[in-house]
Structures are given as C-alpha cells and as structure tokens.
Structure 1
Amino acid sequence: MDLSLVIPVFNEQDNVQPLLDEVCSVLDGRFDYEVIFVDDGSVDATAGRLAALRAACPRLRVLRHARNAGQSAALMTGLLAARAPWVATLDGDGQNDPSDISVLYEAAQADDTLWLVTGWRQQRRDSWIKRLSSRVANTVRAALLGDATPDTGCGLKLVRREACLQLPRFDHMHRFLPALVLRAGGGVCSVPVNHRPRQRGVSKYGLHNRLWAGIVDLLGVMWLRRRPLRPDAREDD
C-alpha cells in the first residue's frame, strides 16, 4: 500500500459523502490507498452516514472516539491504525483540495530526507478574523520556533508514519509538527496548495478556543526544542 489518508471529523454529517467521493475520484488509479475517517465523538448523523459509506466502499475504514478528544487525538488514532508508510491528513470540512495530495506525495518522493510535507494555503478562503489570527499565530510561532513553515495550521499534510510515531504526543500537537520533526532530525518542506470556502456545516474553531491553548503549547514546544535527544550511536563491528 502506498498511502493512508486520515480524515478527522466532528459533526460533519453533510461533508463525509461528498469528501469521500472526491477523494476516490482523485486517488483511484494513482495509488494503492486506504481512507480512514476518525469520528471524534460526533453527536449528529456523522456516524450513521459513515457506516453506510463503509458498506459500499471497501477502501474505507471508520474509527470512532466515544467522546470528543480533539483533532490531534483523532489524527493520532488514524496514524496508529494506518497501514501505509506515508500518511496524508485532510480536514473533514471540504476546504482542502484532495487533488493536492499527489503534489505533496511527489515532493516527498523527490527528497528522502523529508519526514513531513505540509500544505501552504497562499489564498485562504476563510473569514477575515480567522485569516488575521492565523497570520499572527504563524508569525509569532515561526519567530520563536524557527520552523521555517508559513502555514502550520493547514490540515493537508503528508507524514512519514514510522518517524511521526516517535514524536512527543500532546493535545494540539498537529499545529507544531514542523518544529517537532525538525527537533527529531527530520526534514520539512511546504508546498503551495489550493484552499476552498466551506460549503456545508460550521467551523469548530475560533479565536476564543485557540488563543490561550496555543500560547501554552508554544511555550511547551519551546521547552522541548531546548532539550533535543539525538545521540549519534553506532554498533561496534
């Protein structure tokens, strides 16, 4: 298998079918792949609609959290279950373009030092307050962590599964993957990707539920960066 695609969803009942249809139309014939939806404790009809889709799509796997645990937890659940060496992640709201998965995969295959290829939404299709808060957060984070990544919040990423499973795990870690990968000795690159306006459902994120947690997490990652653990060990002949 070439690729596992992990899609965390929370109350996205109207997005799961069109997103799966689009993913399959883009990836069929190009990859040997699987699609893993992680239902992060949805309380709408998401679980039932995923069950119906699972019956009709052999590539689809569905994992479900008993209660909402957050995006990082959902991504880690999918990563642990994935069967392929490379794992692509995609937001469940339909704003990421599945066509860009191939672009990220080609970048990864061209450089064997890369552990992470992340999308860069150069033309954001979000509200002005969301764009502004992300711009401020990215600027501050890049200045303090030096991760050289213009858009860590993009849900479209491609990670080397085995390497990513070695990283420290904590809530909201998905926003700090570039810094964590660099700390562990892996390579990171950003690739421009398409971004689309949300057509169905409502956003689960806003300034109020990201600001304070983001500050605490940033301080924690700064602490981790000062304590790398990468000894150069070799076995004697």
Structure 2
Amino acid sequence: MPLPSLSVVVPVFNERDNIAPLVHETTAALRGLTAFEIVYVDDHSRDDSLAVLQALKLQVPELRVLQHVQQSGQSTAIRNGVKAARGEWIATLDGDGQNDPADIPKLLKARASADLRVKLFAGWRVNRQDSGSKRWASKWANAIRSSMLKDATPDTGCGIKLFEREAFLDLPYFDHMHRYLPALMQRAGWQTVSVPVNHRHRTAGVSKYNNLNRALVGIRDLRGVAWLIARSKRSAIREL
C-alpha cells in the first residue's frame, strides 16, 4: 500500500458495538478519494473492543490498532495515534459513532480552497443529537470558553476535525487538550476554520462523560489555556 496522505485517528474505550460500523463507514467515505489509513487507539478497554479491532484488521487493510497498556484518557489516545500516524494530515473521529465519516471529504474540500495558514478545520455540530441537558451544558461551556479564549469557534467539543500532523505535534500537550485545539492552534500562529457537519444519535454503548465532570475539569483547563495564551511569544525568524 502507498504511504497515506491522510490518517484517521479514532480513540476508543469500551465501544465494541460501534467499532465495525464506524470502520466500514470510514472506508466507504475515503476509498478512491485519497490514500488513507485508520489508526484506532484502544484506551485499555474493559470490554472486547480490542478483540473486535484485531478481527477487523483481517478484513480492512487500511486499519492499524494501537493499545494503551493502561487507561490514559482521550487526549493521550489522540496524541499517541497522531504520533504513530504516517499521513501529513490527520482526521479525528470519536469512537462512539456520533461523528459521520462522510463529513471527512467535506473537511478535505474545505482545506483544498483554504489559505495555507489554516492548519485546523474543526467540525461544527449545527444540529446536535445529544440530550437536552448535554446541549445546554455545551452551550454554556462554549460561551464561557469563547469569552475567555477569544478563539472564534462555535463548537470545540466536536470530535471530527482535520489538522496538519506537524502543527498538532508542536502544540503544548496536557490532558483534555483536544477540547482546546482551535485556541492552541491560534496561539501557535495558525488560522482555524469551523465547518458545519452532521451529528448522530449514539446507537450503542454509554457516554464516558457527564456534565459535572466535564465542568469541573473544564474550569481548571480554561484557566490553564488562558495562561498559555497570555504567556505566548512568537517571532518570525530569518537565516543569515
């Protein structure tokens, strides 16, 4: 197989029933469009997610499987998947199936017509399919984040994103960083664009987050990211 130009990174924890449908949808969306690979990172699942992935590898040549030897969280899974990826550009999907892989070509199309300084194309769930309480919590979280970070991004929590691998790996790493990628990319001097995408109901498994733990972690992270932005210093360089 040729080296991929795109790597689709999917973190997964206890999502055994969502894995196969998402893998097959991703291959259907991308085969014939671009050279790609799918990198699943199993965050030490307690169900048989890993066995499902290993069986799928026999059917899907584009599929690669990584496993954390201990549970480490979504941001670490994404970062380890990006580090292992061979593509110059990365698309991410949540492992619960609520992101639609058919939107990846839409993000690639947006990249094709964008300024070269745009290094992140962030999905924007314009028609959320979550519970009312989760939508309400997300609305207020986005408003608070936007007020503090000035990142001009309506939906940083959407799991489907497209970004340049090199730019991502140059960002400061911390747990839950995946929720602040637009602000971190802008801090690094790059531009970001939000692209409307589809959002779907979860059809199997249960959410790994609740509104309270999101809020408690988010307050601390917001303060940290605001500090990073305030302390940022960039300078153009020239070689003499």
TM tier relative to shorter chain: over 0.9
Find the residue that maps to 2:123 and give its secondary structure.
strand
State the match for 2:127 in structure 1.
Answer: 123
Q: In the alignment, what sits opposite 1:137?
A: 141
Question: Match for residue 48 of structure 1?
Answer: 51
Query: In structure 2, how many angstroms separate the alpha carbons of the residues matched to 1:232 and 1:121?
Result: 35
Q: Aligned partners of 1:68 and 1:136: how far apart in 2?
A: 29
What is residue 180 of structure 2 aligned with on the other side?
176
Runs of 4+ in structure 1 deviating by more than 3 angstroms, as ranges, are none
CA deviation after TM superposition for structure 1 residue 25, in Å: 1.0
Structure-2 separation of matches of 1:29 and 1:186: 30
Trace 1:1-237 onto structure 2 (pairs within 5 A): 1-111=4-114, 112-236=116-240
Which deviations, in whole Å up to 9, do the C-alpha atoms of 1:73-118 show, x marking residues without a partner?
A: 0000110011111100001111111110011111112121111000
Give 1:233's aligned amino acid.
I
- Quote the Cα distance in structure 1 between the aligned partners of 2:136 and 2:170: 33
CA RMSD across the alignment: 0.8
Q: TM-score, normalised by structure 2?
A: 0.97
Q: Tell me the percent identity.
A: 53
Gaps of 5+ in 1: none
1:41-85 alpha-carbon deviations (Å, 9 max, x no partner): 100010101010112211100000112111100000110011111
Q: How many aligned positions are there?
A: 236
Q: Deviations over 1:10-29 (max 9, x none)?
A: 00010111111111111111
- SS for the counterpart of 1:192 is strand
**Per-residue deviation, 1:153:** 0.1
- Larger deviation, residues 52-61 vs 188-197: 52-61
CA distance in 2, matches of 1:196, 1:169: 29
Could you tell me which amino acid in structure 2 is paired with residue 91 of structure 1? Answer: D
The CA distance in 2 between the partners of 1:50 and 1:142, in whole Å, is 37
Counterpart CA distance in 2 for 1:26 and 1:117 is 18
